[in-house]
């Protein structure tokens, strides 16, 4: 494809990621499930999010609309909304699942251990959140105890996700992990089947961009033996970006 990538560098970066010990959550108190108050349904909240997102003409305005949104049952238990990081208008957009504890405290996506590995992976293909990459999630509030997201928690955020894509207008989207991949593509397949392929994606207003699902960096921290799959995905992405430039 005419793209020169330092394979040794990527291999070294992926190998350098530490293998964390599995967290013992048995001693952690169970966080209460947050519920919405009032008569609005998930559909009502999604409609409200859609109207708020559509009225936002800049990323700053969209971020303000997300922070003001009351339709997520997760919001009350969080420090803050974690909206985005990186360069507006970047050709590459990374969309993850949602914030964890470190992200909730700092207000930025992918800043914990998984985020540090993501930064190394991006650097290996000449990408950086400070220069040419935009990073966000399909959900903006941390779930209690970092539990899996519920379908309605993703659904009420979806209009904001679509609008953010329209405002950034990336040339290529990375779906980091199974949750954002399934959410964006409305697929019943898991990440192992989805990864390694390109998919067409379009927003309700017609903006189109290719989506490449990849293994989540947190998964690679747990299973570094799958680094070869991550390497192949990075090569596909780098080649495709070169074609689109």
Structure tokens at 91: 């050709």
134 three-state secondary structure: strand
Percent of the chain at pLDDT above 90?
Answer: 82
* Average pLDDT score over the chain: 88
- Note whether residue 36 is domain-resident: no
Domains in the chain, number: 1
Phi, psi of 48 (to 5 degrees): -65, -40
Q: What is the pLDDT of residues 200-225, one digit of tens each?
A: 999 999 999 999 999 999 999 999 99
Residue 236 lies in a domain: yes
pLDDT of residue 2: 43
pLDDT of res. 8: 52
Contact 42, 155 (CB under 8 A): yes
Strands 172-176 and 133-137: unpaired
Q: CA nearest 5: which of 126, 174, 131, 119? A: 126
Distance of alpha carbon 230 from the chain centroid:
16
Could you read off the pLDDT of 90-133 as tens digits, one per residue? 999 999 999 999 999 999 999 999 999 999 999 999 999 999 99
Element at 49 (helix H, strand E): helix 42-55
Whether 45 is in a domain gets the answer yes
What's the confidence (pLDDT) of residue 171?
A: 98
Q: Residue 17 falls within a domain, yes or no?
A: no
Q: Identify the pLDDT of residue 134.
A: 98
User: Which residue do the tokens 């799959």 mark?
Assistant: 229
Question: pLDDT tens-digit profile of 23-82?
Answer: 343 344 444 444 444 578 999 999 999 999 999 999 999 999 999 999 999 999 999 999
Tell whether 226 is covered by a domain: yes
Work out the pLDDT band at 18, boundaries 50, 70, 90: very low
Domain presence at residue 5: no
Cα separation, 122 vs 113, in Å, equals: 14
- What pLDDT shows up at residue 245? 86
pLDDT at 139 over 70: yes
Looking up residue 93, the CATH number of its domain turns out to be: 3.40.470.10
Question: Residue 16: is its pLDDT beyond 90?
Answer: no
pLDDT of residue 40: 87
Q: Can you give the pLDDT at residue 99?
A: 97
Domain assignment of residue 164, yes or no = yes
CB contact at 8 A, 183 and 177: no
Q: Identify whether 20 is part of a domain.
A: no
**pTM for the complete prediction?**
0.85
Q: Residue 134 is part of which domain span?
A: 41-244
């Amino acid at each position: 494809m005419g793209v020169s990538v330092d394979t040794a560098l990527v291999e070294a970066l992926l190998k350098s990621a530490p293998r964390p010990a599995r967290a013992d959550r048995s001693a952690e108190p169970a966080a209460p499930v947050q519920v919405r108050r009032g008569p609005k349904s998930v559909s009502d909240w999604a409609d409200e999010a859609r109207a708020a997102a559509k009225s936002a003409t800049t990323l700053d305005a969209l971020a303000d609309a997300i922070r003001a949104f009351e339709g997520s049952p997760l919001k009350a238990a969080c420090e803050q909304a974690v909206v985005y990081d990186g360069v507006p208008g970047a050709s590459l957009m990374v969309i993850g699942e949602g914030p964890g504890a470190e992200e909730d405290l700092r207000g930025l996506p992918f800043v914990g251990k998984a985020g540090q590995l993501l930064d190394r992976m991006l650097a290996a293909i000449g990408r950086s959140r400070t220069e040419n990459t935009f990073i966000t999630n399909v959900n903006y509030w941390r779930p209690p105890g970092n539990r899996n997201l519920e379908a309605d928690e993703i659904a009420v955020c979806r209009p904001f996700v679509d609008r953010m894509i329209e405002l950034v207008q990336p040339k290529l989207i990375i779906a980091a992990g199974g949750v954002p991949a399934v959410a964006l593509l409305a697929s019943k397949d898991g990440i192992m089947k989805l990864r390694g392929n390109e998919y067409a994606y379009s927003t309700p207003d017609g903006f189109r961009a290719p989506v490449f699902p990849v293994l989540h960096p947190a998964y690679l921290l747990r299973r570094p033996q799958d680094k070869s799959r991550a390497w192949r995905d990075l090569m596909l992405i780098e080649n495709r970006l070169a074609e689109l430039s």
